[in-house]
Amino acid sequence: MKDIFSDMQATIGCTYISDLPHHKRMVWQEMKQLNLADYPLKQLEDFAGYVFGVPYPIIAEALQKGRDSD
């Protein structure tokens, strides 16, 4: 099973997962490229809360709006 925490850590180039909240802009840009359906919903909810401090539905809606305007 894929793990968004470790995938994002590797993509961003962080030493520790705990560094991810300090790189919100880079994480956000990468999230727009990922197929989030590859990850379990519970993990996405945990990730959104951990990195951005908001519930996942807010992140999902913002990502969708960004895709709709492309």
3-state secondary structure the chain: CCCHHHHHHHHHCCCCHHHHHHHHHHHHHHHCCCCHHHCCHHHHHHHHHHHCCCCHHHHHHHHHHHHHCC
What is the domain count for the chain?
A: 1
**CB of 8 within 8 A of CB of 30?**
yes
What's the domain range around 58?
4-68
pLDDT tens across the length of the chain (70 residues) = 899 999 999 999 999 999 999 999 999 999 999 999 999 999 999 999 999 999 999 999 999 998 887 6
> Can you give the pTM of this predicted structure?
0.92
